[in-house]
């Protein structure tokens, strides 16, 4: 490649200032390794900012599909933006990571970092990427790792792997940083363009240089720190949400026992200017929240620190699918029906509303649990194709015909404002409605003819708090 960063460095003609000028002039080639959800959106937005961008993946089907301007990701606006950048040839794809590494000036790593079956961080995909990079790097490259990684990975794993394969030194021959993605499905493109980014440099020079590149990608604030701090920041963000959801879920369980409506409690409590309680549900899903608390705490535990709150939050959230099944059982028992001979219509398999992503969805455990207990399960999701082993219906009406129970597991817009009386007419006698997402007004549900249950709904059968508990004060 003519006049690349590495070739100029080899001539001793390039300073950090010269590289910065080439960044601003969009004269650098950007390679994105991994075309999953984060990688494809990152590559598309980088290309839309004027950089010649190449996306690489080992999955030939994904590479071929993207090359045609077709996306495998459900994200508003992505399809149009991808097609435009493919059309004007700012974005292309390849399966040849080695050649991509040689020709690119900036390399963005977006490979998966899952948990193993034993709950350990699985860095095998990251290791493979780093070894491929190292064997094909030359001086002057900018390397940003966006994958979520355990604290200490950049300095203790990524840098030594790259240096061992390349013979180059990170921080002097190469600029290296951890710049974690912070994207929410449904708003990802806007957040990539305008959201603040944390840049964790392997050293100060790396942080400063790579933040200059990201300044051309986002209009948001660039927050430069060291790599280990950035690693903790990303994981702490998602862990805080997981803990917050766990509190909401435990509050909902408490409200059920005390006979009050958790939704009302949360709305009223959130009127306080310093309170922000999240919404309860059937559990936590998605690619990040169930995983990141373990990435955050794993090495700290190995070094002798045993976190209590974070682990407890995971246990609360992991138990919610079982509670959702218990609510189905309670409703069926009130209708004097047995779960083994009942038909249950499940509405929603995506892990959150208005997306089609079903990774780690609580619906998987609920559906398989119901099937294991002998229930006849039919699934309807207007966006997701996954049914976790149950037959799929094409419409809500088809799913509920002849059903004994409906359980709402995902807060899709399509499930708001359903005509409850029409659903009752399609179901068997004494129909049950279980709402785990607070989409249905329980009063309207009971007026329509449902036996109603829901996460955090304690007003249905308000228990009497034992008066003897007050005797020490009376």
**How high is the pLDDT of residue 473?**
67
Q: What mean pLDDT is predicted for residues 92-105?
A: 97
| 469 and 425 together in one domain | yes
**How high is the pLDDT of residue 12?**
39
**Token pair 């004269």: residue:** 27
Instruction: For residue 123, tell me if it sits in a domain.
Output: yes
* 142 strand-pairing partners: 106, 175
Contacts of 426 by beta carbon, 8 Å cutoff, 6+ apart: 397, 400, 401, 402, 403
pLDDT exceeds 60 at position 35: yes
Domain boundary (220, 237, 264) is at 220
Average pLDDT, the chain: 94
pLDDT in tens, 257-291: 999 999 999 999 999 999 999 999 999 999 999 99
C-alpha torsion 209→143→97→134, nearest 10:
120
Q: How confident is the model at residue 7 (pLDDT cuts 50, 70, 90)?
A: low
Cα–Cα distance between 79 and 72 in angstroms, integer? 9
pLDDT exceeds 60 at position 9: no
For strands 197-201 and 175-178, give the pairing. Answer: antiparallel
Contacts of 198 by beta carbon, 8 Å cutoff, 6+ apart: 179, 180, 182, 223, 225, 230, 233, 234
| 191 and 49 together in one domain | yes
Question: Which helix H or strand E contains 363, and what residues bound it?
Answer: helix 362-372
Q: What angle do CA 299, 197, 88 make, to 5 degrees?
A: 120
Instruction: For residue 94, tell me if it sits in a domain.
Output: yes
Instruction: For residue 306, tell me if it sits in a domain.
Output: yes
Burial of 20 from C-beta contacts in 10 A (0-12 / 13-18 / 19+): middle
**How high is the pLDDT of residue 357?**
94
Residue 462, number of CB atoms within 10 A of its CB = 11
**How high is the pLDDT of residue 15?**
65
**How high is the pLDDT of residue 172?**
94
Cα–Cα distance between 277 and 225 in angstroms, integer? 30
Residues in the chain: 474
CA 44 to chain centroid, in Å, comes to: 19
| 320 and 175 together in one domain | no
| 347 and 259 together in one domain | yes
Instruction: For residue 239, tell me if it sits in a domain.
Output: no
373 and 339 Cβ atoms separated by less than 8 Å: yes
Domain boundary (204, 220, 236) is at 220
| 418 and 300 together in one domain | yes
Q: How confident is the model at residue 11 (pLDDT cuts 50, 70, 90)?
A: very low
pLDDT in tens, 207-236: 999 999 999 999 999 999 999 999 999 999
**Token pair 């708003």: residue:** 187
Crossing angle for the helix pair 16-24 and 204-215, to the nearest 10 degrees: 20
**How high is the pLDDT of residue 474?**
57
Contacts of 456 by beta carbon, 8 Å cutoff, 6+ apart: 251, 252, 253, 255, 256, 261, 262, 263, 280, 438
The DSSP-derived string for 297-349 is: HHHHHHTT---SHHHHHHHHHHHHHHHHHHHHHHHHHHTT--GGG-EEEEE--
pLDDT exceeds 70 at position 48: yes
Q: Which domain holds residue 320?
A: 248-474
Cα–Cα distance between 474 and 466 in angstroms, integer? 13
Instruction: For residue 92, tell me if it sits in a domain.
Output: yes
Burial of 350 from C-beta contacts in 10 A (0-12 / 13-18 / 19+): buried
Reported as half-sphere exposure (CB side, CA atoms, 13 A), residue 347 has a value of 28
Cα–Cα distance between 162 and 136 in angstroms, integer? 10
pLDDT exceeds 70 at position 10: no
Residue 43 sits in a domain whose CATH number is: 3.40.50.720
**How high is the pLDDT of residue 1?**
45
Give buried/exposed letters for 272-285 (b at 16+ CB in 10 A, else e): eeeeebbbbbbbbb
Can you read off the two tokens belonging to residue 208?
Answer: 């400063």
| 272 and 396 together in one domain | yes
Give buried/exposed letters for 409-431 (b at 16+ CB in 10 A, else e): bbbbebbeebebeebbebbbebb
pLDDT in tens, 114-169: 999 888 999 999 999 999 999 999 999 999 999 999 999 999 999 999 999 999 99
pLDDT exceeds 50 at position 2: no
Active site residues: 234, 288
pLDDT in tens, 295-308: 999 999 999 999 99
Cα–Cα distance between 342 and 184 in angstroms, integer? 37
DSSP 3-state helix, strand, coil percentages of the chain (rounded to 5)? 45, 15, 40
**Residue percentage of the chain with pLDDT more than 70:** 96
Q: What mean pLDDT is predicted for residues 365-375?
A: 98
**Token pair 């559906």: residue:** 367
Domain boundary (220, 238, 266) is at 220
| 156 and 303 together in one domain | no
| 211 and 257 together in one domain | no
Sheet holding 106-109, edge to edge: 91-94, 52-56, 29-33, 106-109, 142-145, 175-178, 197-201, 222-226
| 280 and 186 together in one domain | no
| 215 and 268 together in one domain | no
| 264 and 150 together in one domain | no
Instruction: For residue 472, tell me if it sits in a domain.
Output: yes
Instruction: For residue 297, tell me if it sits in a domain.
Output: yes
| 60 and 163 together in one domain | yes
Reported as half-sphere exposure (CB side, CA atoms, 13 A), residue 100 has a value of 27
Burial of 466 from C-beta contacts in 10 A (0-12 / 13-18 / 19+): exposed
**How high is the pLDDT of residue 462?**
75
**Residue percentage of the chain with pLDDT more than 90:** 90
Q: What mean pLDDT is predicted for residues 361-367?
A: 98
Instruction: For residue 229, tell me if it sits in a domain.
Output: no
Count how many domains the chain has: 2
pLDDT in tens, 401-445: 999 999 999 999 999 999 999 999 999 999 999 999 999 999 999
């Amino acid at each position: 490649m003519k006049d690349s960063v590495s070739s100029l460095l080899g001539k001793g003609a390039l300073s950090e200032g010269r590289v910065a000028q080439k960044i601003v002039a969009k004269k650098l080639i950007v390679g994105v390794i991994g075309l999953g959800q984060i990688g494809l959106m990152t590559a598309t937005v980088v290309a839309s900012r004027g950089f010649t961008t190449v996306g690489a993946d080992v999955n030939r089907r994904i590479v071929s599909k993207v090359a045609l301007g077709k996306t495998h990701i459900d994200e508003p606006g992505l399809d149009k933006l991808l097609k435009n950048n493919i059309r004007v040839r700012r974005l292309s794809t390849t399966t040849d990571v080695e050649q991509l590494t040689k020709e690119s000036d900036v390399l963005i790593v977006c490979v998966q970092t899952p948990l193993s079956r034993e709950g350990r961080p699985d860095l095998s995909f990251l290791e493979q990427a780093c070894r491929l990079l190292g064997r094909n790097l030359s001086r002057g490259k900018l390397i940003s790792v966006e994958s979520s990684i355990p604290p200490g990975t950049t300095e203790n794993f990524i840098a030594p792997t790259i240096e061992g394969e390349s013979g180059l030194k990170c921080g002097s021959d190469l600029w290296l940083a951890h710049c974690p993605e912070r994207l929410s499905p449904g708003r990802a493109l806007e957040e990539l363009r305008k959201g603040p980014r944390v840049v964790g440099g392997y050293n100060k020079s790396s942080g400063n240089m790579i933040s200059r590149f990201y300044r051309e990608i986002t209009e948001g604030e660039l927050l430069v720190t060291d790599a280990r701090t950035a690693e903790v920041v990303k994981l702490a963000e998602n862990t805080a949400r997981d803990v917050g959801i766990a509190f909401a879920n435990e509050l909902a369980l408490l409200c059920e026992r005390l006979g009050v409506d958790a939704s009302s409690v949360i709305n009223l409590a959130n009127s306080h200017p310093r309170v922000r309680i999240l919404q309860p549900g059937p559990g936590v899903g998605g690619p990040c929240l169930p995983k990141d608390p373990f990435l955050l705490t794993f090495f700290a535990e190995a070094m002798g620190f045993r976190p209590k709150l974070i682990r407890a939050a995971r246990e609360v959230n992991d138990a919610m699918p079982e509670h959702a099944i218990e609510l189905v059982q309670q409703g069926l028992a009130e209708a004097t029906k047995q779960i083994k001979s009942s038909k249950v219509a499940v509405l929603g398999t995506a892990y959150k509303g208005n997306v089609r992503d079903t990774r780690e969805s609580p619906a998987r455990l609920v559906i398989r649990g119901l099937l294991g207990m002998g229930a006849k399960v039919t699934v309807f999701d207007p966006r997701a194709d996954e049914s976790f082993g149950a037959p799929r219906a094409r419409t809500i009406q088809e799913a509920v015909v002849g059903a004994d129970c409906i359980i709402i597991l995902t807060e899709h817009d399509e499930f708001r404002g359903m005509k409850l009386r029409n659903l009752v007419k399609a179901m068997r006698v004494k129909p049950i409605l279980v709402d785990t997402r607070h989409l249905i007004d329980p009063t309207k549900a009971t007026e329509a003819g449902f036996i109603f249950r829901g996460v955090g709904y304690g007003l249905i059968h308000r228990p009497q708090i034992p008066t003897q508990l007050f005797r020490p004060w009376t």
